[in-house]
Amino acid sequence: MAFVALSGAAAASDPEVCVSGSGHVCLYLHAGNQGCAAHYGYNDPNYRNNSYDFNPYHPSWNCDLIGLNDSISSITNRGNYCDTFHYRHSGYNGFERIVLRGAQVSDLAGSDHNDALSSHRWKRFNGYYYENC
């Protein structure tokens, strides 16, 4: 999407983490990959003490002040090998939402997951069942 326009930007943050091949999952405060973004190459069992990292469109904004828990409204999986499982509760509990590798959910509104996610982990389907990555 609009990330293309940011190539080469000398921002303090790093929009490149959310492009294809980054190996990260990107979580956004608003629908359509808008607002502050957080990115992960690893699991996180509890968002409660975590914040967003940056706003790709407004690099000077201080997203560190915005809590990640119960606020995510869109997701892009830029993983290279695995899918991501997103959960309503911490500890990988509660109703889950799977975002396949390379896929995105541009708007969680209307689902039980909008402004509700509290943890995520990477998993891979081995042909029989999902295993942790």
The site for Ca ion (CB under 5 A) is made up of: 70-71, 73, 88, 115-116, 118
CB of residue 113 to Ca ion, shortest distance in Å: 9
Closer residue to Ca ion in complex, CB, 47/122: 47
Contact 39, 25 (CB under 8 A): yes
Among 78, 32, 74, 35, smallest CA distance to 86 is for: 74
What does each C-alpha distance from 126 to 70, 84, 110 come to in angstroms? Answer: 30, 14, 31
d(CA 10, CA 126): 40
CB of residue 7 to Ca ion, shortest distance in Å: 26
Query: Which two three-digit tokens encode residue 131?
Result: 């295993």
d(CA 97, CA 90): 14
Closer residue to Ca ion in complex, CB, 71/84: 71
CB of residue 110 to Ca ion, shortest distance in Å: 13
Closer residue to Ca ion in complex, CB, 82/108: 108
CB of residue 38 to Ca ion, shortest distance in Å: 12
Closer residue to Ca ion in complex, CB, 115/131: 115
